[in-house]
Amino acid sequence: MAPQIQILSSSDAATVSKTCSEYSLSEAEFKKLAQMAAAAKKDAYCPYSQFRVGACLLTADGEFVYGANVENASYPVGTCAERVALGKAVTNQQRKFRALAVATDISPPASPCGMCRQFIREFCDLSMPIIMFDVKQDYVVLRLEELLPLSFGPEQLPSPSHAAENASTRVHV
């Protein structure tokens, strides 16, 4: 049975305040995440689907990193906004994040795709909030662990030194 998802109003100050308190965000951070994710949509390159998506990450040191989706005529080659933002952050040596906002032009809000969920999982704590905004700036917020239950992450893999030890002790026939 699918969980009940509640769509919240970003114009309701009490609701935003409660969200911020629950997810350890200031109201200014919440507002900037919403604004930057929505603004990033203007940079989307989506001539095929016309489905604009913007994303904004809040880093542990208070920086905001945004991205937009980039499509390709060969559909599987496109890159979602969430992966663009994470890629920019990671290549700028950012590895710790506090929140991710995603904005679309539809209602209700859209959630990150499965590939993005796994990509987010690589770099973000399972308790990190993912805030999904719709065209009216109403939102749904879920922790990564709620979007990707029973996830597989880097900690499930052997350490590089352990993998190297195993490789050197293998018997080749």
Annotated binding site: 69-75, 80, 113, 116
Judged by DSSP in three states, 33 sits in helix
Instruction: Output the DSSP codes for 65-119.
Output: EEEE-B--SSGGG-B-HHHHHHHHHHHTT---EEEEEEEESSSSPPPPPHHHHHH
Q: Which residues are annotated as a binding site for substrate?
A: 69-75
Q: In what order do the strands lie in the sheet with 139-143?
A: 64-68, 53-59, 97-104, 129-133, 139-143
Please state, in angstroms and rounded to a whole number, the distance separating the CA atoms of residues 153 and 7: 29
Residues placed in the known binding site for Zn(2+): 80, 113, 116
Strand-pair partners of 70: 45, 79
Beta bridge partners of 101: 56, 131
Active site positions, annotated = 82
